[in-house]
Chain A
């Protein structure tokens, strides 16, 4: 079955760089049509889409955060890494990774999600 799990620090200081890893199983990012996205949710607030990386290494970013985000994949390890620079307290949120499947006739976005990891930004 498909599973995803986020890992990374629970606490980062302002101005530091956050590195999150999504480790997944049940699919491969070398398979055509497979994609992994990152989404975050500040406490009590709405979901926010951050970035996506596709099987062909295409990458897409949030407009407001694109100067701070980098997404990459390690196909051999079944991992996707998201880095966010210059962290600020407003970046405190639960960060999720999720799979998207792009088919020939239909796209099924965010069908499987990780459990999320809470990142707190504080000095």
Chain B
């Protein structure tokens, strides 16, 4: 089946630094979603992207839908300790939209105060 490749797998940064992570696929996605999972909890949606080239912000988070429709990027500016967690990209694997989502393996973020 379709897979999403996330990088990096983990990041260790200092509070205040900016963070960038990305997600790629061998096939086209019509929707890109970014979720965050806090320790001991389920993933929560951060940002949804529905159009190639789209750039969307949510506070200190900015995500972009790549123009090739095969990649997406998530940036976090001025990181804070509560940004710690695992960030997942996800998308529906079939053309035309689907309720079924494929998830990347995640980028684990550690922020040192």
A binds B: no
Q: Which residues of A contact B (CB under 8 A)?
A: none
